[in-house]
Amino acid sequence: MTKIEILKVLSGTAAVLAVTSCGADKKVDTRYNIVYIMTDDHTAQMMSCYDDSNVQTPNLDRIAADGVKFVNSFVANSLSGPSRACMLTGKHSHANGFTDNSTCIFDGSQQTMPKLLQKAGYQTAIVGKWHLISLPTGFDYWEILPNQGDYYNPDFITMDNDTVRVEGYVTNIITDMGIDWIENKRDKNKPFCLFIHHKACHRAWLPELKYLNEYEDRTFDMPETFYDDYQGRQAAAAQEMSIWKDMDIVYDTKMDTGIDTPLASTYRYMVNRLSPEDRKTYHDAYAPIIEEFKEKNPQGKELAEWKFQRYMRDYAKVVKSLDDNVGRVLDYLEEKGLLDNTLVVYTSDQGFYMGEHGWFDKRFMYEESMRTPLVMRLPKGLKARGDIPQMVQNIDYAPTFLELAGAPVPDDIQGVSLLPLLKGENPADWRQSLYYHFYEYPAEHMVKRHYGVRTDRWKLMHFYNDIDCWELYDLQADPHELNNLYGKEGYEEITAELKQELKRLQDQYHDPIESKLARQGR
């Protein structure tokens, strides 16, 4: 005969079920599980619960509908590796040591949120994209893509440090791995935290074969800032991420007419990973588009707008497979009776430009790339629903998961727990400003180094290193950030206030950049 005793722990948010059978005790820890799904370069403009003008993402929208959508969600450094390091540590880039993708290796010996969850009795696993150079630590199980990984028949690095090739489409495979770990590889007596990290929607936006023809009849609306002239914004004018000038005609738009471009060989390598039969399917889909392109031979603005449409269509195809797989995870958790006891988080490592300012990619502190989507399906016991307006940042995920798990949050973690917001509370002392710092220059896309402060209305940025430029924006009057107000008459007071707040944040987070520049005479 079985006897079940329910013991309340962790401030009423979790319980331990002690099951006694045939004289043997077996404890099942039923604290909340966490499934954290993170994509690469998926921007809120391409997620229909934020913006339904481009694509429909019904499964991502399910998460928001059954929980919350953060409408002011931001990153601390809009770049893949640094963003991941901020998430894992709960600290800004200068504090966790991984400031850029070009020169850094993540120090896996440092304190991380997965390690702290392990100490609290959680099982941890990560499958998919890692992109931090060193191998994962703090995980009971991991299987990761080398570097950026491939869309077709990708390689994975295993815990045995072997590299194995897996047949199929990367988004499907990563989802398979995540579900398989929950179903077959974990200790089902312990709570778990699973990180499902997708390669999608990273450049070069190679679609799943079944979706090769999706969106081909769609003409997307061009952003009103597509032909931005960058007046008064020196750093914006100096970037190299223009759809018109910098988007590779072979690698990015799939127009492989036999010409050699800087990235053509990389594109051919990626497509050649397909089997001969699948490769034929792929080339058959793009062949008529290539022929039309050769016949029209667009130039100038016509070429820029043609590239934009190709970019949007391929990106949307990749999002479609991603949304399918989010649905698979939700369906699996529901089928197994795990959904009511699991926090499901969906986010991206940063935002992305979908033609705004004429760009693709990220890096800048401007809204499109500093913002990132963040939706959470809440388990029973967390009562918040709908939009959450408070400003949150990716350094907040670590303390949130730790508090949810009943684990102590170390004092050196710089983020703040979102748990009060998930409980439906409205803390009077919630942060009123955010700090941002981007370091990767000179490097791909040539975005200058910069740091800044963002409040609910204002944004102040300082571009430094080989330039010394400030930018000030009134986000209420100028949401597209086209009119740099820095140094203009009438804005002296707000500029001084923002500089003071910037200094306060740098002191709070122990970022010495201002003092370094002062010593250099900047």
The confidence score (pLDDT) of residue 171 equals 98
pLDDT tens-digit readout, 276-290? 999 999 999 999 999
Look up tokens 């019904």; give the residue: 58
Res. 293: pLDDT tops 70: yes
Look up tokens 């089928």; give the residue: 335
Following DSSP, what letter does each residue of 474-492 receive, concatenated? ETTT-TT-----TT-TT-H
Euclidean distance between CA atoms 92 and 75, whole angstroms: 10
Res. 143: pLDDT tops 50: yes
Contact present, 384 and 423 (Cβ < 8 Å): yes
Confidence of residue 4 (pLDDT cuts 50, 70, 90): very low
Strand-pairing partners, residue 24, are 21
Burial class (CB in 10 A: 0-12, 13-18, 19+), 21: exposed
Q: Quick one: average pLDDT of 505-511? A: 98
Res. 499: pLDDT tops 90: yes
Mean pLDDT of the chain: 94
Amino acid at 196: I
pLDDT tens-digit readout, 453-498? 999 999 999 999 999 999 999 999 999 999 999 999 999 999 999 9
Higher-confidence residue of 380 and 25: namely 380
The confidence score (pLDDT) of residue 11 equals 37
Q: Quick one: average pLDDT of 62-83? A: 98
pLDDT tens-digit readout, 79-124? 999 999 999 999 999 999 999 999 999 999 999 999 999 999 999 9
Q: Quick one: average pLDDT of 423-448? A: 97
Euclidean distance between CA atoms 399 and 409, whole angstroms: 6
The confidence score (pLDDT) of residue 519 equals 83
pLDDT tens-digit readout, 311-348? 999 999 999 999 999 999 999 999 999 999 999 999 99
The percent of residues above 70 in pLDDT, for the chain, comes to 95
Euclidean distance between CA atoms 147 and 169, whole angstroms: 17
> String of b and e for 430-463 (b: at least 16 CB within 10 Å)?
eeebbbbbbbbbeeebebbbbbbbbbeebbbbbb
Contact present, 475 and 433 (Cβ < 8 Å): no
The percent of residues above 90 in pLDDT, for the chain, comes to 92
Choose among 365, 336, 388: nearest CA to 434.
Answer: 365
DSSP annotation of 321 reads H
Q: Quick one: average pLDDT of 217-233? A: 98
Measured N-to-C along each axis, helices 300-335 and 276-296 cross at an angle, to the nearest 10 degrees, of 150
Confidence of residue 13 (pLDDT cuts 50, 70, 90): very low
pLDDT tens-digit readout, 382-420? 999 999 999 999 999 999 999 999 999 999 999 999 999
Structural domains for the chain? 1-30 (no CATH), 36-204+318-422 (3.40.720.10), 236-313 (no CATH), 434-519 (3.30.1120.10)
The confidence score (pLDDT) of residue 26 equals 57
Q: Quick one: average pLDDT of 167-171? A: 98
Confidence of residue 3 (pLDDT cuts 50, 70, 90): very low
**90 φψ region: left (φ > 0), alpha (ψ -120 to 50), beta (else):** left
The confidence score (pLDDT) of residue 522 equals 65
Phi, psi of 363 (to 5 degrees): 80, -50
